[in-house]
């Protein structure tokens, strides 16, 4: 057992740049892709992931000083420091549960696909740390490995459900075929996005009806043809303008402000190209997977589960990555009950909107508003969980100079909090809650795919 734990602990230490390409290559070989193409495809995906993070590092490197200036100007006298996803993932994998999460999640994923309860093969093994957070928090209150693993499995089960159901929409918005997003930190985005989308539709419908009555048509078309509006829509111009303005607002000099503008223009220009590289690596693997799957089960798909970073290349998400930084700082200053100073997660704001953007189909206003509201929930839950996160960090050997730490990155703590609270109430309540989610997900998924396959067969018969 100790050897197995050590093996998977070392595997977790590889990080996503090695782990994801390795899994892509292995899946390619298993699905009879030429070995050379499978390895090259895996490496190309790794290059795309590297490129995405390099593009995102532009935000951290150049907007970092600007963000610190904004934090200073806001005079945030708060007692919890945001340490970001990097520290939180290290804490999660460093606990007693952390090393066990990878083999357990791989086995669970294989079982779900085998019994027809999922069609997502999650190759994004590095991001199993989100499930490790859930398991570690439950272990903190129960000191029971079985309960902790059940909570982590329940977290993964509900994520697979959303990954399967949203895969067509993900592919449509990102432009990447054959993928789904089983990322453990986007559960809050899926749930909140699908709650808000019909509300936006209702409001939009009423607004359009009122506009037709009062104004008449033609205004939107004139705006689209306006030369200034066309320039503002261009990501390069918009990145330069936003970066420069934020620099001046933060009190930076002219040189720094304009350099920040150039950096943001580079970020908006480079990120979509990195996504295209990632797509290039996935294409031969995806084609082989779908070809073999169609031979086995007719027209049913098998999705390759990827990091939600693939959603960063959309124009809406890239703009929100920049705009959300001052918004999050302002919210930290004014939201009652917030204790967290946003620092490490500021550069990763795009991750907090990537799947909201998918739900809202790229609509900028909807995605920005939903992201803003979700930030409020994130601040409050991160504040509430700070003492526990700090204690778990200390127990895992994580060293920090701060009295209290937490993380605002993604929705990890929002997803983990219900399981933590259920087991904190009582072990029985937590156990029942976790089992209901696991069993309920399996039943619902099997019914869903059975109906979906029957509908596809009916369509084929009608076409013939």
- 381: in domain: yes
* CA–CA gap between residue 168 and residue 191 (Å, rounded): 17
pLDDT digits (tens, 9 = 90+) for 103-128: 899 899 999 999 999 999 888 887 88
* DSSP-based three-state secondary structure for 229: helix
pLDDT digits (tens, 9 = 90+) for 419-437: 999 999 999 999 999 999 9
Which band of pLDDT confidence, cut at 50, 70 and 90, is reported for residue 224?
A: very low
pLDDT the model gives residue 363 = 93
Question: What is the chain's alpha carbon radius of gyration, rounded to the nearest angstrom?
Answer: 23
The domain total for the chain is: 1
pTM of the model: 0.82
372, burial (CB in 10 Å: exposed 0-12, middle 13-18, buried 19+) = middle
- 220: in domain: yes
Closest by alpha carbon to 353, among 407, 304, 409?
A: 409
- 461: in domain: no
- 462: in domain: no
Contact 156, 175 (CB under 8 A): no
- 128: in domain: yes
Cβ–Cβ contacts within 10 Å for residue 254, how many? 10
Tokens at 253, concatenated: 């000099």
- 459: in domain: no
- 129: in domain: yes
pLDDT higher than 50, residue 220:
no
Give the lowest-confidence range in 62-76, 116-130, 235-249, 445-459: 62-76
Higher pLDDT pick, 404 / 189: 189
- 464: in domain: no
Q: What is the extent of the structural domain holding 391?
A: 2-454
């Amino acid at each position: 057992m100790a050897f197995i734990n050590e093996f998977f602990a070392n595997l977790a230490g590889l990080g996503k740049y090695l782990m994801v390409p390795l899994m892509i290559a292995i899946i390619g070989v298993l699905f009879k892709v030429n070995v050379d193409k499978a390895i090259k495809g895996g490496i190309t995906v790794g290059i795309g992931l590297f490129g995405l993070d390099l593009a995102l590092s532009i935000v951290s490197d150049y907007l970092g000083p600007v963000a610190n200036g904004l934090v200073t100007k806001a005079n945030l006298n708060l007692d919890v420091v945001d340490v970001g996803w990097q520290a939180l993932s290290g804490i999660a994998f460093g606990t007693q549960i952390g090393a066990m999460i990878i083999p357990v999640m791989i086995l669970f994923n294989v079982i779900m696909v085998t019994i027809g309860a999922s069609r997502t093969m999650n190759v994004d093994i590095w991001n199993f740390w989100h499930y490790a957070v859930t398991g570690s928090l439950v272990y903190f209150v129960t000191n029971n490995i079985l309960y902790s693993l059940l909570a982590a499995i329940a977290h993964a089960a509900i994520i697979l459900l959303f990954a399967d159901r949203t895969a067509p929409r993900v592919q449509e918005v990102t432009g990447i075929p054959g993928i789904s997003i089983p990322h453990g930190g986007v559960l809050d985005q899926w749930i909140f996005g699908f709650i808000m989308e019909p509300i936006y539709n209702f409001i939009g419908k009423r607004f359009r009806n009122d506009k037709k009555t009062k104004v008449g048509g033609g205004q939107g078309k004139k705006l689209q043809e306006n030369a200034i509006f066309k320039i503002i829509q261009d990501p390069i111009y918009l990145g330069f303008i936003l970066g420069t303005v934020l620099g001046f607002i933060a009190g930076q000099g002219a040189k720094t402000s304009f350099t920040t503008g150039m950096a943001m223009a580079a970020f908006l220009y480079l990120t979509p190209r990195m996504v295209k590289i990632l797509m290039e690596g996935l294409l031969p693997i995806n084609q082989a997977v779908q070809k073999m799957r169609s031979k086995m089960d007719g027209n049913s798909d098998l999705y390759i589960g990827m990091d939600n970073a693939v959603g960063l290349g959309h124009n809406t998400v890239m703009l929100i990555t920049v705009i959300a930084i001052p918004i999050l700082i302002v919210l930290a200053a004014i939201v009652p009950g917030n204790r967290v100073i946003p620092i490490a997660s500021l550069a990763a704001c795009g991750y907090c909107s990537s799947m909201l953007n998918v739900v809202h189909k790229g609509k900028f206003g909807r995605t920005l508003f939903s992201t803003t509201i979700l930030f409020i929930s994130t601040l409050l839950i991160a504040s509430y969980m700070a003492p526990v996160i700090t204690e778990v960090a200390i127990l895992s050997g994580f060293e920090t100079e701060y009295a209290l730490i937490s993380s605002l990155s993604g929705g990890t703590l929002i997803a983990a909090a219900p399981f933590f609270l259920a087991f904190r109430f009582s072990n029985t309540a937590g156990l029942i809650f976790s089992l209901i989610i696991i069993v309920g997900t399996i039943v619902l998924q099997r019914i869903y795919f059975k109906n979906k396959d029957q509908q596809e067969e009916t369509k084929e018969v009608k076409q013939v």
